[in-house]
Structure 1
Amino acid sequence: MRASLRLALVSLVAALPVAAVVVATTDAGAADEPAPITVLSKDFEDGTSQGWAGRASEAVAHSTAVAHGGSGSLAVTGRTATWQGPSLDVLDTFEKGTAYTISAWVRMAEGSDNARLSVERRTGGVASYDQVVGNTAVTNGGWVNLTGRYTVAADVEFLRLYVETASTTGAFYIDDVTASYVPALPIQTDIPSVRDVVDEFPVGAAITGAEIVTGHGQLLAKHFSSVTPGNALKWDATEPSEGNFTYAQADPLISFAKTHDLAVRGHTLVWHNQTPAWVFTGADGQPMTATAEDKALLLERLENHIRNVAAHYGTDIGVWDVVNEVIDENQTDGLRRSTWFTVTGLDYIRTAFRVAREVAPHAKLFINDYNTNVPAKRDKLYALIAQLKSEGVPIDGVGHQMHINVQWPSVSDTKAMLDKFLPLNIEQQVTEMDVSIYTSNGESFPTPPADRLLQQAYVYRGMFALFRQYEGEITSVTLWGLADDNTWLDTFPVTRKDAPLLFDTRLQAKSAYWGVVDPTKIGTTTSPATTSPTPNSPSPTSPSPSVSSPSSTGGTPGTTACSVSYRVTGTWPGGFQADVRLTNTGTTAWTTWTLGWQFGAGQKISQLWNGSVTESNGLIAVTNAAWNGSLAPGASASFGFLGSWNGTNPAPTSYSLKGTGCAIA
């Protein structure tokens, strides 16, 4: 799944479940947010269960054995199933369209397990289950906090909050349960719409039911021209049991799209995840194997599923991700060893495209995958498409998911990805783009740091500038989410608050938005406050002080072999933020570089990204990071920093690279 540490955030399951009508994330918090309004508080200090009850026959009772705060807690004992636990009616507490932050403290009585915070809702007597906080390790050695966001996005007749475990039925305690919300901000109506600025192709967002109500719906309709139901069209949502089709999750999303003239991408007809177990169970009740009987049955089920789902929406859906994530570059033949493949070989792909073409002849049919910028994966996918097209399989396009981060991949890697598929004469779409602020699984920030948000903005700037060069080749770009309050990256690959999209948790435009819409305004909406990584986060390493000794390949840059642009992107009393771009204007490639200058008014750098910095008596030396040291002739590398100033803040007047000067751009 991962070629290097930088791939750690790129998902094997690029569309993990996000609750169909909820927003479920870890609370971000923001320095400028008003105080939250608390609507629920249960501290179990009055000797009662305070309205909590068991979901089945388990016992729920006040306890003084342990407590997170005060002397009381709620004990849950006698459980016989993992889903059994304490449950609280919140139907009259939570209002539709409001994003609530829910917090609960949990502790096992003995041993350990993973605890989850969930919600059960019912509409028309049909129960649905939404995960607010995913699996979180809990032991008997101390209290663990579960915190997440939840939005009721549809009318319900039953709504209960509950705590469950993943593996065992052991007793546990809960304490200090709260729910609160921050009053919503109106969306910004005086900024350009993304859909109007980027007119080379439709720009879309993946959505759940939470994105079509209140301010989310307004934001979606203002900025985007297409939508992708993130989970509502997958097999587990549309055919949970054989022959029983339901479109309760997807129909409201499609209806919203039609009302607001938004195109719809259908995602997805075939995937190895989120497919009910019955699909792969043979007529004998056993897991399917590579027999003729099982193959025939599995292909029959596949055909029946596509004929029903694709036909239900007809021309309302103009693009389908027919098959999703079928490549495993570690296999000699490049094919994922899913049950689909082990039972049917390539025939499930052939059948899926053939049936989809018959049922939806108007639609564009795509094969979709992640990490397509990685050469090994890219090449295996190219070979598969070329083979299938040579057989007459009706593949119209390839989807690049583009789950990336602020350091990976490069624009040049992404360009190579796009260029690879041009000879196939098929459409290309970016189908699930987000840009994580994290570069490793060991990082975690209580709030998104200013430097990471700035890096993110430049990633969006660079990627969209590249995409817009492929007008006619790229026919759609979709972001995997609408705003930072609802992103799957909050719980994958680890639980922590991420901020990968163009709008923040309060639906306000970030620097990432300006990176797409107007890069000259990057940084104007970024708070000068910054947050340091938690102790387990990697810290930049400092090189030996050197202002005039970068290495190069094949010679020494001359006075015209480099150029530097220096731009202050934000300033506040005592501090500022700046962006520097170094360009190789010579004819020889560099393998590393160190750029030097001197501040003229005593400015100092407090934090730098996309490089390493040393300072000595006002002399600054910035050395490339591992991923941006190689610069071909004409190529550029950017880095930025937060600095301090006192009195004046003039820009440097000269720059040096290997002892010679660089032109000022």
Structure 2
Amino acid sequence: MRASLRLALISVAAALPVAAAVAVTSAASAADEPTPITVLTSDFEDGTTQGWAGRASETVAVSTTVAHGGSTSLSVTGRTAAWQGPSLDVLGTFEKGTAYTISAWVRLASGSDNARLSVERRTDGVAAYDQVVGNTAIDSGRWVNLVGRYTLATDVDFLRVYVETASSTESLYIDDVTASYVPALPIQTNIPSVQDVVTEFPVGAAITGAEIVTEHGQLLDKHFNSVTPGNALKWDATEPSEGAFTYAQADPLVSFAKAHGMAIRGHTLVWHNQTPSWVFTGADGQPMTATADDKALLLDRLENHIRNVAAHYGTDIGVWDVVNEVIDENQSDGLRRSSWFTVAGLDYIRTAFRVAREVAPHAKLFINDYNTNVPAKRDKLYALVAQLKAEGVPVDGVGHQMHVNVSWPSIADTKAMLDKFVPLGLEQQITEMDVSIYTSNGESFPTPPADRLLQQAYVYRDMFALFRQYRDEITSVTLWGLADDNTWLDTFPVTRKDAPLLFDTRLQAKSAYWGVVDPTKINTTTSTPSPTGPTPNSPTPSTPGTPGTAACSVTYRVTGSWQGGFQADVRVTNTGSTAWTSWTLGWQFAAGQQITQLWNGSAAQSGAAASVTNAGWNGAVAPGASASFGFLGSWTGSNPAPTSYSLKGTICATA
């Protein structure tokens, strides 16, 4: 199913939803969070149903037959449909914008099935359903805990949480149901915005409704200038039944983005997952096969879908992932044997791009896939895109999902991925990046280990440094999520708490954030090298200069080096007693090095003489405090560190 066992964590881009509409699912809160505030407890020990009722005609009653805790539970009998079960009104309990952790213990009276924890909400009488916990195996021999996060992101007039099963109508029991939340922290407003530091291309986040309210919306607005509706534009969300189009999930996300001046990536018009079964059902009611009639019907449905969805958003969406995950490198022709392909062959891809161009002539049209840094898959994708371009199919760009982890892939493999597509003259985008802290499916940590978070920071540092080198080819970088409180990796490929993004579960900046914004601020108490980048040169000590009245010291470190290029971090410290309101640091390169890109300041260079002036946000440096910047440079032959630095016309000490 994957390129190798080592790649087991690198999965299909959105094989599972980040969350349904406004639901946010995760295994549990981070261990370092404060004690949650409980707003709901149902243990049924008082002999009443405590407000629980059936969703339809089923019967709910207190039972002493089995119990998870204490001596009683709630029995649910007379179920006539799998989606019927016990439900509780939480309209007056849950507040919009608060992330609640909901926990329920469930078991069957007999047999086995899968259970789900869901929420039904209604606005003006229109119902919508959010899955808090997906299919979880249950049986009659044990209690199983369903735990997930839920954030209400819209105004509603009806809100109930309920337990359902996947297929059976067997009687069931529930017990010890709780809902709690951790008070939100304000976002950090005194740190640089990612979008202000990374200016070579838009930096985006994949979002659900939970990311556009309260502190989440503030964090999104501060740091990102592009968004991708993670699931709200997929087929199951926009055309759940034939011809019945709905944009209830996506419209609020697009409206938020427009109101905050953000670019919008449309994801996705065609995918083999999250596509309703009716799409592949023939006129005879049977699954489609490779007949002329079924192919014509399937392509008609595809064209109708794209014409409606793309037209609905018009020029609001400037980039579309037209087709998603069409490559299977294990096939001789490299093409995934999806229902799309088995019925329509390559014509479904040709049709999708043709219709998208007709409906959205302004938009950039992308083909998007995962594991494109694996040579076999990269090469098969290249061959397909080259073929499509030769046929005149309007492919504008290639999307690299970049679901990676702290030990895979290498910078060299990622660079080779980007280099491969440069000759095609297409745009390239990083579309779904996250960096798992896990390196195998067998690992599970109650709290993200410090060394993994440090490795993760180095991955983000090295990857973004590479991406910024390719600013002429890469036109957008998107992270698959906003913060660690809402990530699909909490439940895929196995259930465990992951921490793959720049901000933690309480929306605070991690070392990963500093890896992108200012690598000098990554935890420096350990010497663990980057697992993905080129082997760093040993830090080259500078020759101490003669301290002057500027009262400053400078630390210069080469943190990565490769043939013809390097990355350096520089820290300048105010060792005097007077605060600086601004600063400019100057030095001489001894071997012809050239600064090619710099962050957290502005650079000027004439021959060997280089200088860096503070950015708008880091010019003020109090006594004893430091300011930092980093840069990419080129070198030939050797790369010695500068031997002296000057600030305000005097020489700084070197450290």
Instruction: Give the TM bin, normalised by the shorter chain.
Output: 0.7 to 0.9
Rounded to whole Å, the distance in 2 between the matches of 1:286 and 1:93 is 46
Letter in 1 for 2:222: K
How high is the TM-score relative to the length of structure 1?
0.78
Q: Is the 8 A contact 2:427 2:475 kept in 1?
A: yes
Q: Is the 8 A contact 1:564 1:583 kept in 2?
A: no
Q: Does 2:216 correspond to 1:216?
A: yes
Q: How far apart are 1:583 and its partner, in Å?
A: 8.4
Rounded to whole Å, the distance in 1 between the matches of 2:323 and 2:282 is 22
- Cα distance change, pair 173–280 in 1 and its aligned pair in 2 (3 A): same
Quote the residue 1:57 is aligned against.
57
Quote the residue 2:113 is aligned against.
113
Q: Does 2:220 correspond to 1:230?
A: no
Quote the residue 1:25 is aligned against.
26
CA deviations 1:225-245 (Å, max 9, x no partner) are 100011111111111122221
Quote the residue 2:464 is aligned against.
464
Q: How far apart are 1:423 and its partner, in Å?
A: 1.0
Q: How far apart are 1:508 and its partner, in Å?
A: 0.6
Rounded to whole Å, the distance in 2 between the matches of 1:272 and 1:39 is 40
Q: How far apart are 1:16 and its partner, in Å?
A: 2.1
**Corresponding residue SS for 1:399:** strand
Quote the residue 1:574 is aligned against.
none
**Corresponding residue SS for 2:87:** strand
Letter in 2 for 1:436: S
Rounded to whole Å, the distance in 2 between the matches of 1:453 and 1:144 is 31
Quote the residue 1:272 is aligned against.
272
Letter in 2 for 1:289: T
Quote the residue 2:432 is aligned against.
432
- Cα distance change, pair 386–487 in 1 and its aligned pair in 2 (3 A): same
Q: How far apart are 1:69 and its partner, in Å?
A: 1.3
Q: How far apart are 1:171 and its partner, in Å?
A: 2.4
Q: How far apart are 1:338 and its partner, in Å?
A: 1.1
Q: Is the 8 A contact 2:13 2:369 kept in 1?
A: no
CA deviations 1:467-506 (Å, max 9, x no partner) are 1110110110000010111111111111111111111111
Quote the residue 2:164 is aligned against.
164
Quote the residue 1:293 is aligned against.
293
Q: Is the 8 A contact 1:280 1:298 kept in 2?
A: yes
Quote the residue 2:515 is aligned against.
515
CA deviations 1:59-78 (Å, max 9, x no partner) are 21111111111111111223
Quote the residue 1:404 is aligned against.
404
Letter in 2 for 1:442: G
Q: Is the 8 A contact 2:205 2:480 kept in 1?
A: yes
CA deviations 1:525-573 (Å, max 9, x no partner) are x9x9xxxxxxxxxxxxxxxxxxxxxxxxxxxxxxxx9954599xxxxxx
Show the 5 A alignment for 1:92-103.
92-103=92-103
- Cα distance change, pair 174–356 in 1 and its aligned pair in 2 (3 A): same
- Cα distance change, pair 566–97 in 1 and its aligned pair in 2 (3 A): farther
Identity %: 83
Show the 5 A alignment for 1:306-455.
306-455=306-455
Rounded to whole Å, the distance in 2 between the matches of 1:371 and 1:359 is 30
Show the 5 A alignment for 1:563-578.
564-565=538-539
Q: Is the 8 A contact 1:134 1:491 kept in 2?
A: no
How high is the TM-score relative to the length of structure 2?
0.80
**Corresponding residue SS for 1:70:** coil
Letter in 1 for 2:504: D
Rounded to whole Å, the distance in 2 between the matches of 1:217 and 1:330 is 42
Quote the residue 2:73 is aligned against.
73
Rounded to whole Å, the distance in 1 between the matches of 2:439 and 2:171 is 37
Quote the residue 1:263 is aligned against.
263
- Cα distance change, pair 299–69 in 1 and its aligned pair in 2 (3 A): same
Rounded to whole Å, the distance in 1 between the matches of 2:517 and 2:425 is 29
**Corresponding residue SS for 1:312:** helix
**Corresponding residue SS for 2:8:** helix
- Any gaps of 5 or more consecutive residues in structure 2? 527-534, 542-556, 564-639, 642-654
Quote the residue 2:634 is aligned against.
none
Rounded to whole Å, the distance in 2 between the matches of 1:150 and 1:45 is 26
Quote the residue 1:82 is aligned against.
82
Q: How far apart are 1:581 and its partner, in Å?
A: 10
**Corresponding residue SS for 1:513:** helix
Quote the residue 2:41 is aligned against.
41
**Corresponding residue SS for 1:404:** strand
Rounded to whole Å, the distance in 2 between the matches of 1:400 and 1:234 is 18
Q: How far apart are 1:584 and its partner, in Å?
A: 9.7
Letter in 2 for 1:25: S
- Any gaps of 5 or more consecutive residues in structure 1? 529-560, 568-579, 587-662
Q: Is the 8 A contact 1:28 1:446 kept in 2?
A: no
Q: Is the 8 A contact 1:6 1:407 kept in 2?
A: no
Letter in 1 for 2:26: T
- Cα distance change, pair 158–379 in 1 and its aligned pair in 2 (3 A): same
Q: Does 2:139 correspond to 1:139?
A: yes
Q: Is the 8 A contact 1:120 1:129 kept in 2?
A: yes
Q: Is the 8 A contact 2:15 2:273 kept in 1?
A: no
Letter in 2 for 1:391: E
**Corresponding residue SS for 2:434:** strand
Quote the residue 1:251 is aligned against.
251
Letter in 2 for 1:356: A
Q: Is the 8 A contact 2:13 2:401 kept in 1?
A: no
Q: Is the 8 A contact 1:26 1:133 kept in 2?
A: no
Rounded to whole Å, the distance in 1 between the matches of 2:123 and 2:494 is 32
Q: How far apart are 1:344 and its partner, in Å?
A: 1.0
Q: How far apart are 1:512 and its partner, in Å?
A: 0.7
CA deviations 1:61-113 (Å, max 9, x no partner) are 11111111111111122323222221111111100000111111122223333
